[in-house]
Amino acid sequence: MRAYKVAILLILSVLTGLARAELTIEITQGMDNPTPIAVVPMAWSGPALSEDVSGIVEADLRRSGQFRPIPKTDMLSFPRTEADVFYRDWRVLGSEYLVLSRLSQTPTGGYSLDYQLFDVLSQKKILQRNVTGGPNNLRDLAHAVSDAVYEAVTGIRGAFSTKMIYVEAFGNEKFRLMQSDADGARERLLLESRQPIMSPVWSPDGKQVAYVSFETGRPAIFRQVLATGERQQLTNFKGLNGAPAWSPDGKKLALVLSKDGNPEIYTLDIASGQFTRVTKHFSIDTEPSWMKDGKSLTFTSDRGGKPQIYQVTLASGRIERLTFEGDYNARARVSPDGKTLVMVHRHNGVFHIATQDIASGDLRILTETHLDESPSIAPNGAMLMYATKHQGKGILAAVSLDAGVKFRLPSKEGDVREPSWSPYY
């Protein structure tokens, strides 16, 4: 048994070296009492794998801030099946939950992963499932386990299988639109340009992205199909063409045009190409975001002198101011449950990410970093990703909506910014 354990640890340490992602996670703050969980190294009798599956599950759960994985070196045994489980071994370690997994090869060259979740205190199996994938889907299998475990324990759907897009800049010379897993792994280049790329955003079905590119010498809004790379330029007006935001049904984009003199919010019906003007005011109106019912938008406006968040009802054109605390509130996004506004808030001259309860108006600052911007909420509403500066470099960071959990994803290369968290798809 011991020799077996050492062998697994050796393989694990080799794998950790191989599976280097461009963005690596540094947890800066966790919950006070995260749930202890033991993720036993996956049982597998085949040749060395390209990914450390149980290590990915552990990292996912740790990053959520809700769990404290038990170190493998502390484990007294590595059970392969339910029959091998001695609950006492896990109670001694203080572990409340136990995850077992076993990988096998499918006839088509893919993988099949069986996994089980046990409640150590009540000595019960609470989950048993199987997930399959192709030869290059080991990370997806791992994230599927994390999602199921997270949901079984917290009651909240996991978001480990989701993705993000973001902009990476190399000085003023080169700009890239990148896609990666939610943990920063498996980076993929979507677009490279010598001109700025801005404001990337997912379509609600997760199949397309929209963004602003300056490749024509002026800002213009494009959409791009992720599977094929096919692109379409959607706007080409004089002045600003910016801040695209997909409607919840995916049929429209809210966006900003200044063709009539100053920045105004418009909607674009994508199929017909028809633009409808939403706001009409001599001040700056920008950064539209859809409310969940698709019937109104939030937007940033300095019509009151300083930038604040407003809400406009599309059918009536009625406008209501939502933020009153502080002299700079901008770029709001609404949480998936529709109850919370997330935005950039200036406090004592420093830019932070803040939430505002829509019903009560209560504002709370979530971040302590400086120059925080571009918050994007995970589809389960548990965490948000934002852009900040760390040691003079643009990086991505994340914070839970209750501010209890914080982590950073520093980039080894360029300045990383404008994260957009994918929907479930």
Partner 1 sequence: MLSTGLKKSLTLALIMAALAGCSSTSTTDQDSSANDAMTGTAQTTDTSSTDTMEEAPVLDTIFYFGFDQSSLTADARATLTAHAAQLKAAPRSVRLEGHTDERGTREYNMALGERRAKAVRDFLVLQGVDSTLIETVSYGEEYPASMGSNESAYSQNRRVELK
Q: Residue 303, interface with partner 1 (CB under 8 A)?
A: no
Q: Which of 111, 115, 211, 351 binds partner 1 (CB under 8 A)?
A: 351
Count of residues that interact with partner 1, criterion CB under 8 A: 36
By CB under 8 A, residue 286 contacts partner 1: yes
CA distance 287 to 344: 12
Tokens of 217: 């010498």
Closer residue to partner 1 (CB): 260 or 402: 260
Q: Which of residues 176-215 bind partner 1 (CB under 8 A)?
A: 196, 198-199, 214
Q: What are phi and psi of 3, to 5 degrees?
A: -60, -40
Closer residue to partner 1, CB minimum distance, 275 or 328: 328
Rounded CA separation 172/197 (Å): 11
Q: Do 267 and 251 contact (CB within 8 A), yes or no? A: no
Kindly report the length of the chain. Answer: 425
101/354 Cα distance (integer angstroms): 39
Contact 185, 21 (CB under 8 A): yes
Per CB under 8 A, 239 contacts partner 1:
yes
Q: In this chain, which stretch among 109-117, 133-141, 281-289, 398-406 interacts with partner 1, using CB under 8 A?
A: 281-289
Give 17-22 contacts, CB < 8 A, sequence gap 24+. 18/50, 19/50, 19/51, 19/52, 19/55, 19/185, 21/180, 21/183, 21/184, 21/185, 21/186, 21/187, 22/180, 22/184, 22/187, 22/411, 22/412, 22/413
Give the shortest CB-184-to-partner 1 separation in angstroms.
Answer: 21
Burial letters for 36-51: b for 16+ Cβ neighbours within 10 Å, e otherwise?
bbbbbbbbbeeeebeb
Residues 244 to 273 in contact with partner 1, rule: CB under 8 A: 256, 258, 262-263
The yes or no reply on residue 348 touching partner 1 (CB under 8 A) is no
Query: Which listed residue (17, 47, 155, 217) binds partner 1 by CB under 8 A?
Result: 217
In the complex with partner 1, the residue whose CB is nearer, 88 or 194, is: 194
* Near partner 1 by CB under 8 A: residue from 221, 373, 376, 380: 373
What are the residues binding partner 1 (CB under 8 A)? Answer: 171-172, 196, 198-199, 214, 217-219, 238-240, 242-243, 256, 258, 262-263, 284, 286-287, 300, 307, 328, 330-331, 344, 346, 351, 370-371, 373-374, 389, 392, 418
